Structure 1
Amino acid sequence: MATLGNPQGGSYVHVDFQGMKTIDFNRRIVHRAFSKIGQTIQKDARNRISQRHGSKPGEDPGYWSGATARSIGYYVPTASKNRPGFMVKIAPNQKRGKGMTPLKLHQGPGSSGFYPAYLFYGVRRGAVRTKSHHKGASGGSGWRIAPRGNYMTAALANKKYWTERMLFNALRRAVKPEPI
């Protein structure tokens, strides 16, 4: 018996074999599925921020030089004795990420930080606060860069059903039970 889905959110797959002597499991099929998932979500996240326009607060970031889009990569770890290797990481500046270019910050004041974090959390005007500094005292909204939308979670949510179905089918192909 096999079930797919989780009423509390997230992904859940349960496979139950009754009356089976042994079960053969092919890791390569599942590993390949995670790679395909990483490639697809990476492409979707890049497409979300590749529109050449300015962005407004709450929207996906706009495209200026393409560095943020090129920095998105995915990584499927290999199995070891301590971890099974059944996961994929997709993020900007992903360590050992496939298909990514490191996001290098320019030199100068105000460039010490992770740019995608600035986009997500935003930057307040006058970030160095003094005793007399009040939020929005200079007029305006008080934001130098207002928070933008989280394009990574939006890309993942956009492909959630496809990802669950892909993993379910890969597990079904990878597991070969032998009857008693």
Structure 2
Amino acid sequence: MSDTPSLKGYLHIEGYDNFMRDAFDKRKIRKGMRKVGQVVGRRAQMNFILARGEDGYPLNRTGVTLESIKPKVSRAGFLVKIAPRKTTDMKEFYPAYLNYGVHKGPRVRGLDQPAGQGNRRRGRVRRARGARADLIAARRNSGWRITPRTNYMIDALEDEQSTIQAILSKAFAESLL
């Protein structure tokens, strides 16, 4: 898994690129986007539940992540984002930990001031040149505490691609003014 964002979870509908946004009835577009969000969200929840921790998916223990998968339509109505959101039941946003993973080693922190050492005027101790980079490399090479999991949201989008295209094509065709 990479730490950089990608467009794996992106779907583009052809045929309506030449129209201005003002040519569409936004209420009908938003309705279609809400329906697509429900379809993909339900499929993602189903993938999450049925995998039971296999195929690289995370394991569903409490259901908090499952309940946090919600669609959100943009203000303009031409975009829907389906993702797990942070809820009050979560201390940390752990779907991010599941997606990107967590390395084993200890965090690289600042140095504590030992008694009688360091720059007295500034009151701090410095690391040797390159020591921080060595600590970071050692942490990165130490393995995974939580291994990165397969992204069930992207799999749901790919599974429902033909349904999504049909729903959005119908919505765009009906909404032309």
TM-score, normalising length: structure 2:
0.65
Q: Percent of pairs identical after alignment?
A: 32
Cα distance change, pair 136–93 in 1 and its aligned pair in 2 (3 A): closer
Deviations 1:116-153 (A, max 9, x none): 1110111111242486863588xxx7211111101111
* Aligned equivalent of 1:12: 13
Where 2:150 maps in the other structure, the secondary structure is: coil
- Structure 1 runs, 4 residues or longer, greater than 6 Å off: none
Deviations 1:42-87 (A, max 9, x none): 111111111373446xx11111111111011111234xxxxx3221
Where 2:41 maps in the other structure, the secondary structure is: helix
> C-alpha separation between the residues in 1 aligned to 2:54 and 2:108?
27
* Aligned equivalent of 1:145: 146
Where 1:49 maps in the other structure, the secondary structure is: helix
> C-alpha separation between the residues in 2 aligned to 1:76 and 1:92?
14
Cα distance change, pair 24–77 in 1 and its aligned pair in 2 (3 A): closer
Where 2:83 maps in the other structure, the secondary structure is: strand
Kindly indicate whether the alpha-carbon contact (under 8 Å) linking 2:32 and 2:171 is maintained by their aligned counterparts in 1: yes
Shift of residue 28, structure 1, vs aligned partner: 2.2
Kindly indicate whether the alpha-carbon contact (under 8 Å) linking 1:61 and 1:148 is maintained by their aligned counterparts in 2: yes
* Aligned equivalent of 2:85: 93
Which structure carries more helix by proportion? 2
> C-alpha separation between the residues in 2 aligned to 1:86 and 1:16?
12
Moved more, 35-44 or 124-133: 124-133
Q: Count matched residues.
A: 140
Which structure carries more strand by proportion? 1
Please say if 1:44 is aligned against 2:23. no
Greater RCO between the two (CA within 8 Å, min separation 6)?
Answer: 2
Question: Which structure 1 residue ranges, 5 or more long, are not aligned?
Answer: 1-8, 18-22, 79-83, 95-101, 107-112
Question: Which structure 2 residue ranges, 5 or more long, are not aligned?
Answer: 1-9, 110-130
The Cα RMSD (Å) is 3.1
Kindly indicate whether the alpha-carbon contact (under 8 Å) linking 2:48 and 2:66 is maintained by their aligned counterparts in 1: yes
Shift of residue 41, structure 1, vs aligned partner: 0.6
* Aligned equivalent of 1:104: 89
* Aligned equivalent of 1:62: 59
